[in-house]
Chain A
Amino acid sequence: MRTLDRARARGPNQRQRRPDHSVWGGLRWTARAARVFVALLLCALSPSVARATPQDLYGLGGRSPGLGMTGVSFVCDWEAVYLNPANLAGTRNRRLAFSANASVYDLHVDHERYPLEAARGTTIGFQLPLPFGDVLEDRLVLGGGFYTPTNVLLRGDVRYADVPQFSVLNRAQSIAIQVGLGFDFHDIIDGLRIGIGISALANVYGDLLVRLDESSAFVSTVETQLLTVFSPIAGATFTQPEWGVGVVYRHEVRAELNLNIVVRDLPVPLPIVTVAGIIQYDPAQLAIEGFWLPDPNVRIIVNATARFWSFYPGAARPTTMNSFLAPAPGYSDTVSPRLAIEGTLHDGSVTAQLRLGYALELSPVPVARMAAERNANGTPHLDAGGDPILTANRSLDHDRHVITAGFGFDHAFSEHQHIIFDLYGQLHAGIDRLHPIYRDMDMNAPLDVGVGMVSGGMIFVGGWTLAAEF
């Protein structure tokens, strides 16, 4: 596991590389931030654009993202399909929600802006208490959340390993379909709820054959299939009037691409080309959370989310039978500590909530470096002298301080009829990272003299949710 101490230990180097802290530098940053904020606002308000459902990176819905992506122990609405399906059982009203979010990247490599397309999307969520009677009365609640990008449902971007790339942040462009069912043990063990759910994605498999037809023209025959992959989510909560705890396990979510390309009848024979890789990956996660109400209108939340990135096998697969593979990714498990506070104000039928949150998102990715190329079977590729052949691996990522704020508005028309509006914003302040490799040359860089490739940057996230409860 990565620890906070290790993150702090890397601090001086990163501060050494920080650019321009002068007044003018601050003003330039402020102007840039203002431009980004305006772009973000336009993105979030535009109905015609939507990309990706990065619930792992930024949270799902409108409440949890404003609370430092916490909510495992207490969010009892449709957002619980991702946060913790056990809490679905904590609601008695039906709710239908529409949510829009956008994230804008301001990343850089060697102080040059790294272009990464904004991720924008919309979500439809619902919760549906099942009105059984008798022993099942007020026990079962069904929920769903469907994130649907406007333009790209699923994007896989598997690049050459030597090309600088933000492999974790760029892995967020994906549809998300999540369904959950919660069960309340009231009158058996008051306060206990359990829940299960699934996340669904798709693998893409296909074959392409190019050959000469009877009229001596090259024709292509293509067949592709999308096959469903399901990933389970399971959780439990125990809630008392002034405190509560929750735990949830989310299994890894992965989508793979595998296309076999056969080209015949060319004057030069081509091998069978296999285009394969993992185009979407969320690691398995275990989140534990507790909340405390020191006052009925104040909620304090503490959360720790562990991500098991060490199981990530790397994106690329061998292109031909004996192709060499990029170095092993070497990702490490991470723990993300999160802290949030939510204050509630009441005025007649109106309830307003102010939210603040913080999360430290540690990077699972090792520094970019020269590393051992691999044979198709995964063993190191050795030269004639038995030494590993090194190749550049420029997979980039960095630790992020995530500061969040949110606002909630609830107008109750009656006990069961509400209109709810949530708004949130996130600032992901990345910590610059110095890599022991040059950006343009495949050779090690001496870090002790402060040279090498530097990567880092900010992410701005915003969104809103409008919901009706009835």
Chain B
Amino acid sequence: MKKRSTFTFFFAVLGVFASPAAAQPMDTYGMTSRSVAMGGAVSADVEDISANYYNPAGLVRGDHMRIGIGWFGAFHQLDVDGLNSGVDPVHGLTFGLAIPATIDRNFRFAFGLGVHLNDDRLSRTRSLPQSRPRWEFYDNRPHRTYLAAHLAVELFEVIRIGGGISFLSYAANTLSVRGDLDIAMPDIGSHLQHEIRADLTTIRYPQIGVQVQPIPELSFGLVYRGGFALSNVLTAEVDATILSGGIAAPFPGYFYLFSESVNAFVPQQVSLAGSWSPTPQFTLNLEVTWVNWSSYISPVGTSDIRLDLDIPPELADSIFVPTIRGSRPIAANFQDRFVPRVGVEGMAYEDTSMEFRVRGGFFYEASPVPQQTGITNLVDTDRLAFSAGAGLRLTNLRPLIDGFISFDLHLQYALLPYRAMQKTSLVDPTGDYVAGGHIFAGGLSMEVGFR
């Protein structure tokens, strides 16, 4: 009992302090082939490495120590008024660990690690003028790294609890520039120097999940994921001596710029799921997720600008400093949504050395974005996603592996029905438009399980 309490204390300390994680391309495209193929409706029965995203309680569900790696890609065909919007594809590697263990014969716990690394970049933040149409959920938000570590424990054999604190970072840069600024030949004649303080500052958000399995055939899951937002903040000061190519004596000038934009907002979410296996060869999963989109922060940037020039009389007629004003974003006014999901899995073939399963799934996301009747142009439509997949598990691998190797693949098609955005003003610079398209995604994953 003493040993158990000591280890419980250790894991309690570990859970209180931290676990690393970051960002979610998984919110849009899912994680690992089995889970994506089942429409993401896996929070109730997940036990592979994707439990690091779907429900950390599932890390302690299985008996095997699992190491997995995979690749996935998503390719967008999205257009506005028939013109391709050029939304970049998203593709990258997925890696994960799920390490269950037992101490003192009946204290079961697990440690998990999940990583998604985009091929092109760790993350990208982007703010655009509010008048420029952009696919709000696909243009930039998936371009982030996911890194999560979780702990899970099993209580009373039917209840599993897992969680951790995830974090990522936003950039805050403070820039100071000094030197000579030549307004006659600014690029060639200027001799400026800079100093900068660049901070990638931590944002933390929690994730916690529960799985309840009253009987082997039935399992339930409940997951909470915290929300977060990535920001870019830049404060710049240029304190320069201004040269005018000999027309006038050098004079002082001061320029101040503040730019802030919130990017890649991920709202808090709660998922409730159930999994039913009437026979060992068939599983039906249902899930609904509440997404708190109403807290969405507009990605349009805030900017403040100030310009002070001590203009000499010789240049008073040629340099005129107007009233300069910055910009403020307009509230996004998104609405909360419930996302229903369904997934099925069936055993197609089974013998003593291998198992072959087929899977299918579907989910429907109603767009939380309101009609863009004003100057903003945050483009989005509903999403209906259909997925299918298959998995091959090899189980007779001794003596090299006392466990299994599984290979899974998935394909997913998402239809974004065309939606018309109608402007209130007849002289709106963007005007009315119609937006819609398709997303094609697929992936492969491999997992090794050691008993």
Contacts and interface: CB of A to CB of B under 8 A. Distances in A.
B109 to A, nearest CB: 9
Interface in A179-212: 202, 204, 206, 208, 210
A221 B129 contact: yes
A150 B202 contact: yes
A417 interface: yes
Interface stretch (B53-61, B189-197, B410-418): B189-197
A319 B201 contact: no
A160 B129 CA distance: 33
Given A131-B65, A204-B198, A222-B126, A124 B6 contact: no
B174 to A, nearest CB: 10
B198 A419 contact: no
A226 B122 CA distance: 5
B183 interface: yes
**Residue of A50, A150, A220 contacting most chain B CB atoms (<10 Å):** A220
B371 interface: no
Contacts of B339: none
A319 B183 contact: no
B191 A323 contact: yes
B319 A208 contact: no
Nearest to A99: B17
Given A271-B187, A322-B188, A146 B149 contact: yes
A273 B177 contact: yes
Contacts of B173: 259, 275
Interface stretch (A60-68, A231-239, A260-268): A260-268
Interface string A32-62: 0000000000000001001000000000000
B207 to A, nearest CB: 15
Interface in A158-181: 158-160, 163, 175, 177
Interface in A121-142: 122, 124, 126, 128, 130-136, 142
B232 interface: yes
B interface, how many residues as a size bin? 35 or more
Contact of A222 (B191, B259, B324): B259
B333 interface: no
Interface string A314-337: 001001111110100000000000
Nearest to B186: A271
Interface stretch (B8-16, B221-229, B269-277, B358-366): B8-16
Contacts of A267: 307, 309, 319-322
B282 to A, nearest CB: 32
A358 B123 CA distance: 41
Contacts of A214: 131, 429
A149 B189 CA distance: 42
A419 B6 contact: yes
A468 B167 CA distance: 24
Contacts of B196: 156-158, 257, 275, 277
B201 A151 contact: yes
Given A222-B234, A223-B126, A411-B6, 20 more contacts: A47-B16, A47-B17, A47-B18, A100-B17, A124-B20, A153-B169, A154-B199, A158-B198, A206-B232, A218-B327, A220-B127, A224-B171, A225-B121, A225-B122, A259-B175, A259-B234, A261-B236, A271-B187, A319-B179, A466-B10
17 contacts: A96-B111, A124-B18, A151-B202, A154-B169, A225-B121, A226-B200, A228-B122, A261-B175, A266-B255, A267-B319, A268-B242, A271-B190, A320-B191, A321-B187, A323-B179, A468-B10, A470-B101
Interface of A: 47, 50, 94, 96, 98, 100, 122, 124, 126, 128, 130-136, 142, 144, 146, 148-160, 163, 175, 177, 202, 204, 206, 208, 210, 213-214, 217-228, 257, 259, 261, 263, 266-273, 275, 277, 279, 316, 319-324, 326, 411, 413, 417, 419, 466-468, 470
A-B pairs, top 9 by smallest CB distance, nearest first, are A226-B122, A156-B198, A133-B399, A271-B186, A220-B259, A220-B303, A154-B200, A319-B192, A153-B200
